[in-house]
Chain A
């Protein structure tokens, strides 16, 4: 009995510490993996074939998204997205992975884009919003490898629907990070490395600059505008995801990928999108987020030793934006 209590306290201790830092955090309770666990973050902008915002927005995310949807298109792309994830899982399984966590990385329909009844039955699906670490909610040190599919380039880059959460700029220690970069840094807190990223040519080039050349990159399409691209058949994309996921898992099992490390403490600086209304800025100011300093009209800075703090803050900011 007392031994159980000690173990319980030891297990809970980090959670309690995190709670003290951020009241919004609730630790995930995913069942432990039986075998090698793959954590997949599917986004939509960088998936095969998608080029237009109407294809990735459900229209129910908030007032400003109402006119940006075309349900007949979005519905269709949910199916394609689900099949991309299934192909990734199938490839990973072929290489020996036995546990799969899929965490909705795309805000459409408030992080509920995949069709649960069509998803590989071996996968645990994290869907809905808000969720504490947004794109890496549910990650912990039991994860063997991290994969991002359908990722997109950061703002100002010539990629399909290029953006970065709610920001025009986001840097850590002066290094500009896109969404994959931010989440790779959070994952590194658990010693987890990124093994596979799929997205358009702009996204893959940008992520190589951030993470280095170590991961397996899949170019799903070549951007010829912010909403137009040279694309390949969905079957071709699925085959690439399947085959690359198998290679990624084999290499990850041998420790072939290194977590993305930056020097601590992390000096985080970001600017909210210029296109957002003043209410978003006011909303962020009213959070009174511990350690968050305002450095300009829309710019902020945060210094922390724990990359997860970025994740909690991102969740809070997304809640302000998607309110």
Chain B
């Protein structure tokens, strides 16, 4: 997601540079943008079908953990342009492969810890868009886990989430947009609130899960992420993987140490959910969602967003990129995110 943002930013800078070099020339025309509504694309809006398919696959008994696997918050990650990007998307850094394996290692640590505490089933949903949600090498993942991968997929980071899930974890999570965390961002937004509560990506996942009675029990990421997520969701388990010094520098803990901590925290998280000590996030209906798309995006992003069903321009907003949305169903919010992702990430 943020990889795309940087590229968009770079695209935005080009005309300026060109204009500086050749002041006589007019600004080059923008390439035409396909604004086909996302409804026309299978896989963007069929979230109920994805949910039904996953639900049917799940065991009726036992304890299921649903893990959102992001990457920016992994141990040792600091730089988006190289470490988070594969060759085909301009990364050209062999470390990217190492971080794909680190992602699998941290997710496996969470699974191992949860299993030790009695969890019986594991669903892992790819949550990092840098490679269009295909980061974990499938054979690196714990062989008992179900892996949801690829893009576009309904409800992006919460594909298939359903009430049979007992607890959610988020691994490799990053801090909210406009915070000093490593590669901090939130979907396509500069700000995102529900009923006035500020939510980061972990918070949005907790909100969608919360309505189904699924608590967010563990978040692993840098110190900014863990602090802000505790503030949003209360006393969940957290693992601080690194101390951010800027958006692209951090004091990092050794991956092996981080994995050990995740394993221990995952076990505690499962035990505490079973004891009812970690509760689902519940907000009052109707949900008043307010958000602003990133200022760095090209103008077609807010333009296309304004055309989405149910989205209203925010009253009194002078920037033209702030919107309001009201609904009684948290999954609708997930689907809205999905449609905005599609506008931004459309391959």
Contact = CB atoms under 8 A, between A and B. Distances in A.
A52 B132 contact: yes
A51 B149 contact: yes
Interface in A218-239: 222, 224-236
B43 A228 contact: yes
B147 A232 contact: yes
B148 A228 contact: yes
For chain B, give the interface size range. 35 or more
Contacts of B12: none
A158 interface: yes
A48 B214 CA distance: 29
B86 A49 contact: no
Interface string B78-99: 0000000011100000000100
A54 B134 CA distance: 10
For chain A, give the interface size range. 20 to 34
A81 to B, nearest CB: 12
A52 B138 contact: no
A236 B144 CA distance: 8
B53 A224 contact: yes
B134 A72 contact: no
A231 B146 contact: yes
Interface string B28-54: 000000000000011110100110011
A232 B134 contact: no
B213 interface: no
A233 B150 contact: no
Contacts of A51: 134, 149-150
B138 A49 contact: yes
Given A51-B150, A232-B146, A226 B43 contact: yes
A201 interface: yes
A70 interface: yes
A233 B104 CA distance: 12
B15 to A, nearest CB: 24
A233 B88 contact: no
B88 A76 contact: no
- Output the residue of B133, B143, B147, B160 with the most chain A CB within 10 A: B147
A69 interface: yes
Contacts of A165: none
Contacts of B49: 224
B331 to A, nearest CB: 14
B99 to A, nearest CB: 13
Given A224-B159, A228-B151, A233-B144, 16 more contacts: A48-B138, A51-B149, A55-B134, A69-B88, A72-B87, A80-B138, A201-B53, A224-B154, A227-B152, A228-B150, A230-B160, A232-B146, A233-B139, A233-B147, A235-B139, A235-B143
25 contacts: A51-B134, A69-B88, A70-B86, A70-B87, A76-B137, A158-B42, A158-B46, A160-B150, A224-B43, A224-B46, A224-B53, A225-B43, A225-B152, A226-B41, A228-B150, A228-B151, A228-B159, A229-B150, A230-B146, A231-B138, A232-B146, A233-B143, A233-B147, A235-B139, A235-B143
Which 5 pairs of residues, A with B, have the shortest CB-CB distance?
A225-B43, A228-B150, A51-B150, A228-B153, A70-B88
